[in-house]
């Protein structure tokens, strides 16, 4: 079983401000946590520190029992490829590849045989309701379809952790809810942790727990407060 995510005293300081100020967070496998906050609050920086892209000023990040900032850069990149899935705001699919080929990509980088990678990719696309779009290229897909392909790609390696940075920011409300629910439900089935950064309380409501990033710290939002925010949005 995965050891989950442990963040201890995570700090990120720029010359202008302290974006992260001793953040602590523990998330168990199969749990989805939403991080809410306006643009500029540090959500993206937090995710980048979690996955080993942006080095924090201080603090620890432990994913699946591995303290990632103790790894050399090449080993950190290899760990990220195998154990961390990333979902981006605009999908970030390669336009020259079909949907199924985009999902296969991380598996091929990990050395999977083409037939095995293709089988896994088709399985995920089917789970996300996109079996009929497997051969379509990104320009032939809707915004919601692009995001679902991006989710399938992030989940392809059965990672310990999936980080989603405003994954529904460019979608309409109904599509955003569907995409977020699909991400969370499939991740739960795989025992994967999801950290979803969003400014949308409806999307945050699909997660198990919600935090507000404010003044560099994470503050838990109670379920009743989440419901009030959703009703007012």
Flag whether 209 is in a domain: yes
The pLDDT score that the predictor gives to residue 176 is: 86
Residue 74: inside a domain:
yes
Q: Do 109 and 77 meet the contact criterion of CB atoms below 8 Å apart? A: no
Within-domain flag for 53: yes
**CATH for 227:** 3.40.50.300
Give 43-78 pLDDT, tens digit per residue.
999 999 999 999 999 999 999 999 999 999 999 999
What is the DSSP-derived secondary structure letter of residue 50? H
Q: Is the pTM of this model over 0.85?
A: yes
Total domains in the fold of the chain: 1
Range of the domain at 36: 5-96+159-232
Dihedral (CA of 217, 220, 224, 228) sign: positive
Q: pLDDT tens for residues 170-222?
A: 788 888 888 889 889 988 888 999 999 998 898 999 999 999 999 999 999 97
Residue 147 lies in a domain: no
**Residue 226, pLDDT score:** 55
Query: Which of 229, 231, 185 has the alpha carbon at shortest distance from 31?
Result: 185
Residues 103-136 have pLDDT tens digits of: 999 999 999 999 999 999 999 999 989 999 999 9
């Amino acid at each position: 079983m995965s050891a989950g995510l442990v963040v201890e005293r995570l700090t990120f300081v720029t010359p202008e401000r302290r974006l992260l100020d001793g953040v602590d967070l523990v998330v168990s496998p199969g749990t989805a946590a939403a991080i809410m906050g306006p643009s500029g609050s540090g959500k993206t920086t937090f995710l980048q520190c979690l996955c080993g892209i942006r080095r924090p000023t201080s603090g620890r990040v432990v994913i699946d029992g591995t303290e990632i900032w103790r790894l050399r850069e090449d080993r950190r990149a290899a760990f990220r490829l195998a154990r961390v899935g990333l979902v981006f705001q605009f999908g970030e699919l390669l336009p020259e590849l079909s949907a199924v080929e985009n999902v296969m990509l991380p598996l091929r980088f990990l050395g999977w045989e083409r037939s095995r990678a293709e089988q896994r990719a088709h399985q995920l696309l089917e789970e996300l309701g996109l079996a009929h779009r497997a051969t379509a290229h990104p320009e032939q897909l809707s915004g919601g379809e692009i995001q679902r392909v991006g989710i399938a790609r992030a989940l392809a390696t059965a990672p310990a952790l999936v980080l989603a940075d405003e994954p529904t920011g460019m979608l309409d409300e109904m599509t955003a809810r569907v995409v977020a629910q699909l991400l969370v439900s499939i991740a739960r089935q795989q025992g994967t942790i999801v950290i979803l950064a969003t400014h949308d309380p409806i999307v945050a409501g699909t997660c198990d727990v919600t935090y507000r990033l404010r003044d560099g710290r994470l503050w838990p939002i109670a379920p009743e407060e989440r419901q009030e925010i959703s009703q007012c949005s």
